[in-house]
Structure formats: structure tokens, C-alpha cells
Amino acid sequence: MFETVLVANRGEIAVRVLRTLRRLGIRSVAVFSDADARAPHVGMADVAVRIGPAPAAESYLSIPAVLEAAAATGAQAIHPGYGFLSENTAFAAACADAGVVFVGPPAAAIEAMGDKIAAKTTVAKAGVPIVPGSDGAGLTDEELVAAVEGIGYPVLLKPSAGGGGKGMREVHRPGDLRDAILSARREARGSFGDDTLLVERLVRNPRHIEIQVLADAHGDVVHLGERECSLQRRHQKIVEEAPSALLTAAQREAMGAAAVEAARAVGYTGAGTVEFIVGADDPDQFYFMEMNTRLQVEHPVTEQVYDVDLVEAQLRIAAGERRPWPEDVRPYGHSVEARIYAEDPASGFLPTGGRILALREPHAHSVRVDSGIAEGLVVGSDYDPMLAKVIAWGEDRGQALRRLDRALGDTVLLGLGTNVGFLRALLADPDVQAGRLDTGLVGRRLDDWTAADLPADVLAAAAAHALLELEPADAVVDPFDVPGGWRVGEPAWATWRMSVSGHDPVAVRIRGRAIAAEVAVGDAEPVPCNAWRDADALAVTFHGITRRYVCARDGETLWLGRDGRAWGVREQAPLDAAAATEGGAGGPVLAPMPGTVTAVEVADGQRVEAGARLVVVEAMKMEHVLTAPVAGVVRELAARPGGTVAKDAVLLVLEPEVD
């Protein structure tokens, strides 16, 4: 076994790999960019090496920088995690040239499976079923159009060089095809440095099921069952589970055998995942999609069900051991994983960001948290928005789902928007509970799980917190020290206009002492409201129900968290309210998130129709197209390709047409 291993990654996967290295007694080396200087993985490793500034191309994607760090620290092996250099053929080859073991498959296997077009050809020769589609590499736009005409709609455009949903586009109508090709090429080029596309027939009501394989260097290959990954947004997974509620034992074995043959076809070694697409109405028909030649984000559900450490298996395989997995590979129970992202589901899953002001991760029986964050850490736009994963095991699927929901409810993350509340709503849905899943479910039902509700108790708690901050800490001597002062008759009302992102401002009135107050939210009648501090939290009784909130302040914003959800509450100034404009009007077009302008599709003075594409902004590997809300003329164009923008930065002004 190795004495020193370098982890060429960041965030929760780096922490995950370091945990196994520590358990095995292996000296660990972390690498970090300037943006990650205080990240948890840096402090967890035995040694940490700075490898460059924040942009991934100058740090985590820099092969020379990573290899120099390995040489400087005496690392005998490099574990790449997932993303970044994990499926980079040149990196695997460079490791071999440098005499460092790459903890993964040989470069030839990465190359064979990294090109989706070549991969389909390879596995088809081994008898693995594939989806009908284009089989030629390097198709021009016109050749792609011709291929689609031969396949028939609907189709799926996919980058040949990478995965993770980047650059994938569904096309259902001929009129949308050319714009989809342009957009897919741009995102593929930005994500993988290669804009080669392939096209496949779109399987209706598809379920995404993948098989975990392990292969040693002595020709032994085994599969560890399947993971269901059908709950996705933008072709990226958000909830995964093992086993699938869809498959029978016979179907599982057939897919497992196909996955083993796919691995054998390329001389695979290490841990890998063969992904299949399955029609929900006919599980016997499954088609090869791709093989991920690395560890998967969702690997913990397999680890819980099969009681195996896949990172340890990777290390032992890389060290030359034979069959470092249980002799009798059998599943037990059920496991479900939910990914926590810095994003706003109600705004189309746009990335968010900010400083983590408060963090409480769940600690419960059969619950595991893989996390790469800590209080005080700034979540920016440089990297993927995934922050952590919560994984729950149960003796059956129902118990695993209940434990996961409870764990998410116990999660507190204040300072930026996350998807935790959305995840709880998704997991509680009757279709999800019953296992009636497909990859389009989230897209079809998104509004059901992102209803813009703002509970009245949150605003009441914010007002009570403001009242507590105004009250004297010691015994009251002067009655004018009490909020509202002293007056003959009833106590005076204190009024705040509370504003929460995504909601209209609401006037909240409160009077009395916080321990015995009355509060009126909006037009509602006043009701008793009692509040007191409870350790590091705020306890509030409102409408006869006592709830506890974790609180944190960021300047003028008060963050309140309960039941896995979080709200940033601000007091809105009257002038801000008066200046608010109605939706659908012209005016400034703002950046919806911090990021980089990847395309400007208009010119200053240009007239555009409503719905016309204006600017494309990319952040955390996600692309967002801004369109014209009304017909008008572009003025004050400030956006420039390649420029960085802050959230709410003015990109241009759209001057509406006047009848």
C-alpha cells in the first residue's frame, strides 16, 4: 500500500477521500487554490500545497501544478476524486510518465470511454445495447441536422467529451434545432474544451439507472448493483438511491452483466460506473449511455447498501491487490442521498453565493454527511455549486426516506440560498414516495415544490428579533428605554416593512415587550407573540405554536433558519418600495447571479423583439440566457464577453417601444 497519497480535488470529495486515507494510516496531501485557502480539506490533510489562483484552469486543472505538488511532497499516488482531472487522459498519462500512480483506470480506458461516440461503438461490439443515434465523430452543424432528420424527433444533443449534464439539450421541434446546437457547442467548449456533439433518440419517460463496477488489474470484474438517479434538474442528479424501486432481480442481473462486459471491453481497472437509460414502461429494454471512468458523486449509497469503502477499493486496486472487495457481494437495506446545492430552485436553480454564517449538520443513526464546507467559508462562483450530501440508510426504502427527510430538517445553513427546503418537498411527493420516477419529473412538477410561500411565523420572528435587539439588556429604569416608549393608554406599535428575496415586502407591526407582545403580519389581526433567546437560537411563540430558529446577521440582513429552510429578511426602506417597478416593463436588465458573460448577442442601439436573446451569463458551470421582457431598443450596453459581473449588476438598459 502507498505511504503518501495526494488528493487532486477540493470540497466534499476531497474530504471524503482524506477520511479513508486517515483511517488506513496513509499520509495525505491536499492541494488548494487561493479561494480555498481555508477550506476544510486543507486543514484535514497532513500536508497542503497551494497550486494557483482561483480559476480552475490555473489550479485544479493545471497538470504541471498538481504533479509539482506531488513531487514536492513525495506522493506515490494521486487520487483525482471526480470532476477536474479525474477523466483527463493527458493527466493519467502524465502521472505514468512522472512515476506517480494514478488512482483510476489506465489512460487508454479513459480515452475509450471519454469519447461518447467511440464508447458506444466499443460497447456495441461487446453486445451491450445502445440508443439509436449518430455514430460519426466531428459532425458539422449541417451533418447534425441531417442526422436528426434520419433519427426523428425528439432527440438529445450531447457533448462527446464530457458528462454531468453540461451541454445537453433536448430538442422536440425542427425550429429549435439550430439554436440548440449553437448553445450546446458553446457550453461543451467552455466545460470540456471540445465542442464535438452527438445526437441520440430521446427515450420517453426515461429512468436513469447506473451500475457500479470494480475491476482489478488481474482481469477480475464485479458489479455492486445499481443506483437509481432519475431525480434530476438540468440533466444533473439531485437525489440518488440504491437499489432502484423499478428493477426486478433478473433485470438487475442483466444490466449488471452488461456493465461488466462494457468494463472488460476497454481493459478497465478501478472503480467505474456504467450508466443506462431505461424506459419506465419497459424495464427489460435498457440502453448504454456512457461510462464514468471515476468515482461517482452518489457512490455513498452503494457503500451503505453493500458495506464497502469504494475509495479503499480504488487504492488497493491501484496498489496491485487482487479482488479487494467482499467475496460474497450482497446488498442489504436501502440508501438514499440528497445533494445540497447553493442554488435557488424557485429561480430555475440559478446559483447563489455568500458567506456561510451558521452551519449545523445532522447527526443521527444511519445518517452520513459528506461535506466540504464550514462556518465562515465564502461560497463563490468559481466552482460547482454542490456543498454537501446527506445520505440515509434504512432497512427498507420507506425508512431510508423518512430518515433522510428528518436529517434534512435538522440541517441549518444560513448566509446563502440553498435547495434544502426544495429537497424536503420533493422527497415528500406521493410519486417519489411510491417510486414513480423519471428524469423529467422534476422539470414537469417544479412549481409544485418551489411554491413561493413565506410563512407568517418567519416575519413575526424577524419582528420579535428586532424588538429584542432594541430592548435594554438590564432591568428597565427609564420607560422611554422600552421600544415604543411610554404613553397614556395602549403601548405604541413599532412597524417594520420586511423584505425577503422572491416575495413582495410585508408590513409587520409589533408592540409590547418581546416576552409578551402582540404582532400583526400584513393585513392580519394582531395575535399574541412571545420571544426569548434560547442558547444560540431564537424561540418564538406565535399563534400558540412555539418554534425555534437559528439566527445570524449579515449586515442589514437577518437570516432565520428552521426545518431545513432559511430566509434572509431585510427591512425595506420606503423609497426602495416606491421605486419598485412592475414585471414586464423595460428598464435595466440585471445579472441574475454572479458569474462570467460568455456571449453578448445584441449591440447598443439595436431594436429587439420580446423574447430575443440578449446576454448569456455562466456561473458554477451553469449557463443562463437573458431575454428581452418586452420589445424595445438596447441602450447603455455594459456587458462584454469574458467580463465578470456581480449579482444584480446592470448589463444593459432596454428602452421600451412607445405606441
Q: Which residue has the cell 441520440?
A: 200
Between 137 and 105, residue with greater pLDDT:
105
Same domain, residue pair 437 and 508 = no
pLDDT computed for residue 1 by the predictor: 94
pLDDT computed for residue 492 by the predictor: 82
Least confident span in 59-68, 270-279, 384-393, 571-580: 571-580
Same domain, residue pair 247 and 386 = yes
Indicate the pLDDT class of residue 120, thresholds 50, 70 and 90: confident
pLDDT computed for residue 584 by the predictor: 46
pTM to 2 decimals? 0.84
> Is residue 119 in some structural domain?
no
Q: What radius of gyration, in Å, describes the C-alpha atoms of the chain?
A: 27
Domain boundary (449, 476, 506) is at 449
Same domain, residue pair 171 and 306 = no
pLDDT computed for residue 644 by the predictor: 83
pLDDT computed for residue 184 by the predictor: 93
| Residues 5-41: tens digit of each pLDDT | 999 999 999 999 999 999 999 999 999 999 999 999 9
Strands 343-344 and 155-159: unpaired
> Is residue 112 in some structural domain?
no
Same domain, residue pair 431 and 522 = no
Above 60 in pLDDT, residue 415?
yes
Task: Provide CB contacts within 8 A for 56, sequence distance 6+.
Answer: 33, 84, 382, 383
Give the highest mean pLDDT range of 373-377, 503-507, 573-577, 641-645.
373-377
pLDDT computed for residue 353 by the predictor: 86
The stretch 525-552 carries a mean pLDDT of 93
Same domain, residue pair 413 and 501 = no
Same domain, residue pair 617 and 480 = no
> Is residue 585 in some structural domain?
yes
Give CA 3 to chain center in angstroms: 33
Indicate the pLDDT class of residue 47, thresholds 50, 70 and 90: very high
pLDDT computed for residue 482 by the predictor: 54
Domain total in the chain: 5
Same domain, residue pair 269 and 359 = yes
Q: Look up the CATH number of the domain holding residue 532.
A: 3.30.700.40
Same domain, residue pair 294 and 383 = yes
What DSSP string runs through 333-370?
Answer: SEEEEEEEESEEGGGTSEE--EE--EEE----TTEEEE
Same domain, residue pair 82 and 137 = no
pLDDT computed for residue 481 by the predictor: 54
Least confident span in 40-49, 266-275, 357-366, 489-498: 489-498
Task: Provide CB contacts within 8 A for 150, sequence distance 6+.
Answer: none
> Is residue 111 in some structural domain?
no
Domain housing 481: 456-575
Same domain, residue pair 212 and 226 = yes
| Residues 315-370: tens digit of each pLDDT | 999 999 999 998 888 999 999 999 999 998 988 888 888 899 999 999 999 999 99
pLDDT computed for residue 620 by the predictor: 64
Q: Look up the CATH number of the domain holding residue 153.
A: 3.30.1490.20
> Is residue 124 in some structural domain?
no
pLDDT computed for residue 296 by the predictor: 96
> Is residue 123 in some structural domain?
no
Same domain, residue pair 383 and 403 = yes
Domain boundary (541, 575, 609) is at 575
Share of the chain above pLDDT 70, in %: 93
- Please enumerate, as own/partner, the contacts of 171-175 that have beta carbons within 8 Å and a separation of 24 or more: none
Above 80 in pLDDT, residue 60?
yes
Domain boundary (407, 426, 449) is at 449
Average pLDDT over the chain reads: 90
- Please enumerate, as own/partner, the contacts of 396-403 that have beta carbons within 8 Å and a separation of 24 or more: 396/333, 396/334, 397/241, 397/245, 397/334, 397/336, 397/435, 398/433, 399/334, 400/241, 400/333, 400/334, 400/335, 400/336, 401/336, 401/427, 401/433, 403/364, 403/365, 403/366, 403/367
Nearest to 325 by CA among 244, 215, 247: 215
Same domain, residue pair 433 and 498 = no
- In the three-class reduction of DSSP (H, G, I as helix; E, B as strand; rest coil), residue 157 is classed as strand
Indicate the pLDDT class of residue 134, thresholds 50, 70 and 90: confident
| Residues 581-634: tens digit of each pLDDT | 444 467 889 887 778 899 999 999 999 999 999 999 887 666 788 999 899 999
Q: Look up the CATH number of the domain holding residue 592.
A: 2.40.50.100
